Structure 1
Amino acid sequence: MPAKTIKPPVPMGSYSPKDVTFLLKDISEVMPESSTQDREEAVQSGTHYSEMLPIEYQPSKEYINLFHLSLTQYKERLAIAAGVVAEQILKERGTGAVLVSLARAGTPIGILIKRYILFKYQIDIPHYSVSIIRGRGIDENAMKYIFENHPPENIQFVDGWTGKGAIKKELNEAVAHLNEKYGTSISDSMAVLADPGYCVTIFGTRGDFLIPSACLNSTVSGLLSRTVLNSEYIGPEDYHGAKYYRELAEEDLSNFFIDTIANQFSLVEKEIERHAEEMPAEEPTWKGMADIQKIQRDYGIENINLIKPGVGETTRVLLRRVPWKILVKSENNPDLGHIRLLAKERNVPVEIYPDMSYSCCGLIKPMKEES
């Protein structure tokens, strides 16, 4: 490796530095936010989504209450999934593993995996959070920093869940590029809590249920925005950017979310062991993509990127895009209470669509129909 030239990370976000090191540039004071409508029109007119910062959604009191209810409902299930993923990572990478979570959805999951390994094995493995952007790749400066400080072959990427698998495909291409450019031997393996798209080999479950960290955006993600890559604010030697919402500190639930689930580890230790032993060695089939293509045909959707499958992605459509309609597999799924609430708040129609492997799917409104 060449001499160290990459800028050291600057502390940001509301997580403890013991839990994660963010390899991001703080753009809080320089970059304005765009309204959801303006941003949607710009994206569908050709502007890359990563060049703009959305206005942070402020959830209603009813929705925050639902977050707490869903966390109570799923905390044991989430702890088991995190522990199962952690066990698989140790099996694949050994105790020298280096977690690299994909900001921002992957960050809390990476922290849970790190916390489990510390709890179970008293091993404090490194954990970084880096930006990956669909169509733009992974943050190369961030990866170079990790290369300079750790054996690249120990890297294990982490994300929250899979939808169509777009980020997994982006990661595959990014890792191939890095390995060719730097002569490294990084694995493009991506570990997730939930894999309803059947896109990865390391997962806690393939069930499609709400991971509460999909709910509240920055206030459950260390008070950080989604990542940004805009040459007006990000120089060639900078990490990708993010805004740190310090003003939301009183509403921050990031560490509460982590602690609530991590406190379950001692209670579900035997369950984690049993699930980890029984985890089947299944190769990805990408069966979720076949469902998406059928939805695309059935609804005459030209751009497949306007289809967002799975509970996590549907939640995000309702939080920060302009939704057209929501498809649900069954009417009475108790896992979709928050989807119905958000759809009602935003006057978005909900339709039954039983022929899919996902619990639900969000369809984004095509802006060009209005012109």
Structure 2
Amino acid sequence: MNKVIDKKSQFGSYHENDVIFLLKDLSSYELEGTTENREKNIQSGQHYSETLPIEYQPPAHYMQVFRKTLEEYKRMVALCSGIVAEQIFHQKGKNTVLVSLARAGTPIGVLIKRYILSKYQVDLPHYSISIIRDKGIDENAIHHILNNHPEKQIQFIDGWTGKGAISIELTKACKVYKEKYGIVLDDTLAVLADPGQCTSLYGTREDFLIPSACLNSTVSGLVSRTVLNDQLIGPKDFHGAKYYENLIDTDVSNEYIDIVSKEFPAIQKEAFEESERLLKNQNEAAFKGMDEVVRMAKEFDVDSTHFIKPGVGETTRVLLRRVPWKILMKDPDSPYVRHISLLAKERNVEVVHYPNMSYTCCGLIKKVSDSQ
């Protein structure tokens, strides 16, 4: 049975006014396995959403890199958040419900909510829900939002794009939702960085380092990746997730939001002007990044494009959650890849200088047959 998780004491570490998680609490279940076993199961056919990776606990020197990165890029994150927020507010105004895609989208949704509140004194509702590649969006969560906000328009939010798998999944899910229920949802995905050119609503198309990509739950409200497991999730349940309350001492979720939010007054004018420019010259989604991924697959003899994860955020995920084979870097000296170099060294993963790509870096996943 679903229970709306809307209090800090119930689920997650964000301030209760920042976000409501529409997720079934699975904190009491053991869902984690070793990275190697989980990778083997995934490549043998088990869906990645049925289990969870063990949460990476970064050492002190890695957290130093995170904090240095946050200090260097807090203004850029604030600016891109403002650019996206201005576009959303221009297009939908007060008639908006912010719906971030757990979990990478959640801190971005919080920042956009805070920007609009600070600039326009409008406190938009913000929910975080699950969408899973090849499984679709959490329709029960959508029902809940529409029932509670019947006159408002949903705006979906994520952190960044790689190949565009989630953008494609969202479009597919919105089409299915319309066919089932006769309700049209806007499938435009708002992101801070769109290096793959997978959406028309973005802050930048530069593949820059969003500091929240460096960490897992400890920068996302202590919430796990979302879970869709038939043994635990019934037909009327929200998709599930765990709350890692045991990691509270290392949690930087609210600190991250507060540090970036303090930059909003200084970037408001620039954010508004850039949003106006983007609204006048909208660049549609072209999914150009996928062409590069296909080329990489041929060049490195990779069986499936699912094993290629382009962009800073996706490369970080490969190193934190999967079994990496190689890391391609456009410029190994780029400040955007410092944390990736640390992780690659820690996991003994080869780094290849690969200048001929638009992405800053790219993670290649090892075939399990190669890791035996």
- Please classify the TM superposition score into its range, dividing by the shorter chain length: over 0.9
Aligned counterpart, 2:231: 232
Aligned counterpart, 2:196: 197
1:289-328 to 2 correspondences below 5 Å: 289-328=290-329
Please say if residues 327 and 361 of structure 1, whose CA atoms lie closer than 8 Å, have aligned partners that are also in contact. Answer: yes
Aligned counterpart, 1:333: 334
Instruction: Calculate the aligned-residue CA RMSD, in Å.
Output: 1.4
**Matched residue type, 2:148:** N
Q: Which moved more, 1:254-263 or 1:180-189?
A: 180-189
Q: Which moved more, 1:89-98 or 1:146-155?
A: 146-155
Aligned counterpart, 1:358: 359
The DSSP-based 3-state class of the residue aligned with 2:33 is: coil
Distance 1:201 1:270 in 2: 21
The DSSP-based 3-state class of the residue aligned with 1:91 is: helix
Q: CA deviation at 1:53?
A: 1.3
Percent of aligned positions that are identical: 56
The DSSP-based 3-state class of the residue aligned with 1:308 is: strand
Calculate the TM-score normalised by the size of structure 2.
0.96
Please say if residues 2 and 238 of structure 2, whose CA atoms lie closer than 8 Å, have aligned partners that are also in contact. Answer: no
Q: Which moved more, 1:331-340 or 1:238-247?
A: 331-340
The DSSP-based 3-state class of the residue aligned with 1:256 is: helix
Q: CA deviation at 1:32?
A: 3.1
Q: Which blocks of at least 5 consecutive residues in structure 1 are unaligned?
A: none
The DSSP-based 3-state class of the residue aligned with 2:52 is: coil
Cα deviation 1:9-47 (Å, max 9, x = unaligned) = 454100112100000011011233111111000000000
Aligned counterpart, 2:54: 55
Q: How many residues align?
A: 367
Q: Which blocks of at least 5 consecutive residues in structure 2 are unaligned?
A: none
Aligned counterpart, 2:14: 15
Aligned counterpart, 2:147: 148
Please say if residues 24 and 241 of structure 2, whose CA atoms lie closer than 8 Å, have aligned partners that are also in contact. Answer: yes
Please say if residues 6 and 144 of structure 1, whose CA atoms lie closer than 8 Å, have aligned partners that are also in contact. Answer: no
**Matched residue type, 2:228:** L
Distance 2:255 2:152 in 1: 33
1:124-273 to 2 correspondences below 5 Å: 124-151=123-150, 154-273=153-272
Aligned counterpart, 2:33: 34
Aligned counterpart, 2:276: 277
The DSSP-based 3-state class of the residue aligned with 1:99 is: strand
Aligned counterpart, 1:118: 117
Please say if residues 311 and 360 of structure 2, whose CA atoms lie closer than 8 Å, have aligned partners that are also in contact. Answer: yes
Distance 2:141 2:27 in 1: 19
Q: CA deviation at 1:331?
A: 3.0
Calculate the TM-score normalised by the size of structure 1.
0.96
Distance 1:97 1:127 in 2: 9
Dislocated runs of 4+, deviation >4 Å: none
Please say if residues 152 and 185 of structure 1, whose CA atoms lie closer than 8 Å, have aligned partners that are also in contact. Answer: no
Distance 2:142 2:3 in 1: 12
